[in-house]
Amino acid sequence: MKFMVTGGAGFIGSNFVRHLLSFYKDDVEILNLDNLSYGSNTANLKDLENTGNHIFIKADVKDSDTIHDLMSDVDVVVNFAAETHVDRSISNPSSFFENNAYGTFVLLEAIRKSKGRKRYVQVSTDEVYGTAQESKSFSEDDLLTPSSPYSATKAAADMLARAYCVTYGLSTSITRCSNNFGPYQFPEKLIPKTIIRAILDLHVPVYGSGNQIRDWLYVADHCEAIREVIEKGKPGEIYNISSGNEVPNIEIVKMILAEISKPEELIEHVEDRPGHDLRYSLDSSKIRAELGWKPKYEFSEALKETVRWYVENESWWRPLATDNVLHPTPWKLGW
């Protein structure tokens, strides 16, 4: 089976490539496409350099000629390629539309015009649903009410994937995951930023009160869920992927500080970003019942393992830990 993985040098994409190689071993070929923008890193793939069934290609999903040329003998396309950080989308929304919406269009068009039936999975986010009320967890049938340019462009990509299934008969599925964490995550995200700033004895910024609630999903569990959707999921269907680990941001920060024996005095409450959703919560009963998936990793142990990884891999994150990336209020930077 031949995969095209777009955004495969990013956090989740690179972990997914490893998952495929580990699961299928010699029975898989992977074309790994990434334009190596700020969130991607060839160092994420360094241990795969001598893997004969994994080929990395520096390419942009918006480059329709390249995508069309590479699509001909691919069996499965998994689209991770996206601008992902809400703060950056506030400062520079145009690049999010170009990469997230138009890039998805290019991929779907290439599949539509290519020979043979191909499986396509659009990797999306819980943020397309907007803020969840206190007693509410979003199901796949709920209305999309995105709050940021990032989530709005991801919602647009989802709608394109669905439309190409209905109109052209493409075998597309959509996955929407809760907040991921784990190795190789770009340092501007909450968990790696907290770990790195704490290691460096810098103040750890927390937006507003820090009571924003996220459901934390270990990246290895997410990768396995996507593979299950590829193998067992139905075309045209949406699958929420979540673990049920709903924790306020302030508690996540305190857990990390305790794990590396740093004082809570490092916490610095900073100005909240515009349109900050208060809670994300997904009902993942569909994928559990229909496909038999469930998370394998216990949250506190996975968080400890993640902290250990960053502590032991300073050579990976040190070149990325610039002042801009670790900025207390990055949405103000005007990228």
Tokens of 224: 């396995």
Count of helix runs (H) and strand runs (E) in the chain? 12, 12
Residue 126: active-site member: yes
Amino acid making up residue 322: T
Catalytic residue among 34, 83, 127, 188: 127
Q: Cβ atoms within 10 A of the Cβ of 93, count?
A: 16
Residue 237: active-site member: no
Rg over alpha carbons for the chain, rounded to the nearest Å, is 19
Catalytic residue among 129, 150, 218, 310: 150
Distance CA 303, CA 332 (A): 29
**81 backbone dihedrals φ, ψ, rounded to 5°:** -65, 115
Torsion angle, alpha carbons of 293, 295, 296, 298, to 10: -170
Are the C-beta atoms of residues 14 and 44 closer than 8 Å to each other? Answer: yes
Catalytic residue among 87, 126, 221, 224: 126
Residue 127: active-site member: yes
- DSSP lists the bridge partners of residue 173 as 121
Amino acid making up residue 177: C
- From the list 156, 79, 176, 153, the residue with the least C-alpha distance to 119 is 79
Report, as residue numbers or ranges, the catalytic residues: 126-127, 150
